[in-house]
Amino acid sequence: MYELLLSITVAILIIVFIWLLRKGLKITLAAQQTDWGKTGLNYLDGLNRLFCKHYHRLQYTPIELPPQGAAIVVANHLSGLDPLLLVAVTRRPLRFLIAREQYERFGLKWLFQAIGCIPVDRGSRPEIALRAALRALEAGEVIALFPQGTFVLPGESQKIKKGSLWLAEHTNSPIYPAYISGISGMGYIFLSLLWRSHAVIASYPPLANSSNQQLEYLQALLEGRISSSLNEAIN
């Protein structure tokens, strides 16, 4: 009798677990908004959106990328959470330029490869990554990067690198700027994922050219010296 009750209990638990798993998959895939071309990546997209929205309490104005064709997304860089937030506010796959030492991290390289990240050797021939990004843009993809090149906290200043403007000029691609704020784990890679934030992303109209005036505008935006209606509403 005991064995029978144990078997029934185990069977019920298995059924409940499968039901919860299927329900969770449906909820996650319902949250997915970007088609990455693979079911597993689409599932991760939905999971990431739920994570950013509910755990990090993300508020944002969407980055309204064109439905097709090349585009460049740029943002200030506060933490390791930043790429996840940018993915959560766009509806096209983003190919991030990422430092080689981060790209090679144990256990994560497979993911970076799967989503098309482009590793940058910052100490030796970074132009190789720029050429790879150039080819991606010529193929109509979306490149995302942090032109300050490192974490820059509020109140700090770091001259932006001209790679995004060079890419825009050589491919005639619009640049879509965004400003990230409200991150609890600023300056950290993994701790920023764990420390709950009130994350905010404010998006701005695309830059149509790569003039010096636009460079100055982009520098001011990434340093938080240009506000938006979303920043004002939240602050």
Distance CA 147, CA 221 (A): 12
Q: Say whether pLDDT at 114 is over 60.
A: yes
**Residue 17 pLDDT level (bands cut at 50, 70, 90):** low
Neighbours of 47 (CB within 10 A): 17
The reply to whether the predicted model has a pTM over 0.85 is yes
Distance CA 14, CA 4 (A): 15
Helix (H) or strand (E) holding 63: none
Q: Of 9-13, 140-144, 147-151, 188-192, give the lowest mean pLDDT range.
A: 9-13
Contact 121, 104 (CB under 8 A): no
Residue 72's DSSP bridge partners are 143, 175
Q: Say whether pLDDT at 20 is over 70.
A: no
Percent above pLDDT 90 for the chain: 62
Distance CA 129, CA 190 (A): 24
Q: Shortest CA distance to 47 belongs to which of 60, 33, 67, 37?
A: 33
Q: What is the pLDDT of residue 4?
A: 41
Estimate the crossing angle of helix 163-171 against helix 212-222, to 10 degrees. 130
- For residues 188-199, give the mean pLDDT: 94
Q: Which amino acid is at 134?
A: L
Distance CA 199, CA 175 (A): 22
Contact 224, 76 (CB under 8 A): yes
Q: Say whether pLDDT at 79 is over 70.
A: yes
What are the structural domain ranges in the chain? Answer: 32-234
Q: Is the dihedral of CA 217, 222, 223, 228 positive or negative?
A: positive
Q: Of 6-10, 80-84, 128-132, 179-183, give the lowest mean pLDDT range.
A: 6-10
- Torsional class of 4: left (φ above 0), alpha (ψ -120 to 50), beta (otherwise): alpha
Q: Say whether pLDDT at 106 is over 90.
A: no
